[in-house]
Amino acid sequence: MSDLFDKYGHPIRALINPDCPSDLFDKSGRPHIVVENADGIDLSTGEFLAALLKGGNLLHIPTNAGWTAVIAQAGSTLQAVSQFRVNSGATAGGKGLLHSLMEGLANDIAYATPVNLTKKLYLIFGCARYISVATAIARFQLKQVSTEGALAAKGIGLRVDNYALVGESYGTELGEVSLATSLLDSKEAGIVIVFDPDTPKIEWYVNGVLKGTQTTAAKIPTVSLGGYAPLVTSVINGATAASASWLVMRPIFWQER
């Protein structure tokens, strides 16, 4: 029975065109059934990647180029081929931050408008925290300013209160959704943020499981993120003079055409 549903509980449908019985077999004579999930994505053919690229703009975000570092006190940053790391340093108010411009990702609008919020988008990444600091706050955000801190204008993102995960969003006011999940020290978690303007809603998945949804209109951004809209990864230790580290790994951005 589990084959009737995908891992998110969506029903899977078997689709065969009755007018084309040859679709039952591939060119080698093996049985072939095309399956589709609830979102209409063909799961069984080699055309999946082509369909993904045709339907939207896919960006494997580089982690070792194009980023501006900002530090405070003893903070630090590090960039590598598959991850970036920011560290607060061991002085109170220490901060490590990296930000990068997100232009040229949207279709049918000015190139300098980086994110079109009338189209569906996914932000996918791995993340980890190490060195527990009770007052530390880490974030990965797509927003309108390049500074550290809670969203105060349009944007979406993930906040980590020491190790506890919180979904953040802002339309005309700040939205915060507890994801009822805490990171384990030094262990990666897989995050998917899904922005759906048609419903509208924002979903946060942790390791493939839906952990939080935002549906309040005032807390969901609309139209676009304007002419700057950087990605920002940051960590700050607050009043505690201890060194907190935050890693973001293999970030991927996809936006519907």
> Mapped to the 3 state alphabet, what secondary structure does the chain carry?
CHHHECCCCCECEEECCCCCHHHHECCCCCECCEEECCCCCECCCCCHHHHHHHHEEEEECCCCCCCEEEEECCCEEEECCCEEEEECCCCCCCEEEEEECCCCCCCCCCCCCCCECCCCEEEEEEEEEECCCCCCEEEEEEECCCCCCCCCCCEEEEEEECCEEEEEEECCCEEEEEEEEECCCCCCEEEEEEEECCCCEEEEEECCEEEEEECCHHHCCCCECCCCCCEEEEEECCCCCCCCEEEEEEEEEEEEC
Residue spans per domain, the chain: 2-45, 59-256
pLDDT at 2 over 50: no
Q: What is the mean pLDDT of residues 182-209?
A: 96
Check: CB of residue 170 under 8 Å from CB of residue 163.
no
Percent of the chain with pLDDT over 70: 74
Check: CB of residue 213 under 8 Å from CB of residue 178.
no
Q: What is the pLDDT of residue 109?
A: 64
> Is 57 or 254 the better-scoring residue by pLDDT?
254
Q: What is the mean pLDDT of residues 56-67?
A: 90
Q: What is the pLDDT of residue 248?
A: 98
Q: What is the mean pLDDT of residues 192-203?
A: 96
Percent of the chain with pLDDT over 90: 65
| pLDDT band, residue 1 (cuts 50/70/90) | very low
Q: What is the pLDDT of residue 116?
A: 85
pLDDT at 9 over 60: no
Q: How many CB atoms lie within 10 A of CB 120?
A: 18
pLDDT at 10 over 70: no
Q: What is the pLDDT of residue 108?
A: 64
Q: What is the pLDDT of residue 228?
A: 72
Q: What is the pLDDT of residue 15?
A: 43
pLDDT at 33 over 50: no
Q: Compute the distance between CA of residue 244 and CA of residue 30 in angstroms, rounded to an integer.
A: 55
For 212-222, what is each residue's pLDDT tens digit? 999 999 999 99
**Averaged pLDDT score across all residues of the chain:** 84
pLDDT at 20 over 80: no
Q: What is the pLDDT of residue 187?
A: 97
| pLDDT band, residue 256 (cuts 50/70/90) | confident
Q: Would you give the distance in Å from CA 40 to the centre of its chain?
A: 21
Q: Compute the distance between CA of residue 193 and CA of residue 167 in angstroms, rounded to an integer.
A: 9
For 127-175, what is each residue's pLDDT tens digit? 999 999 999 999 999 999 999 999 999 999 999 999 999 999 999 999 9
**What is the architecture of the domain spanning 59-256?**
Sandwich (2.60)
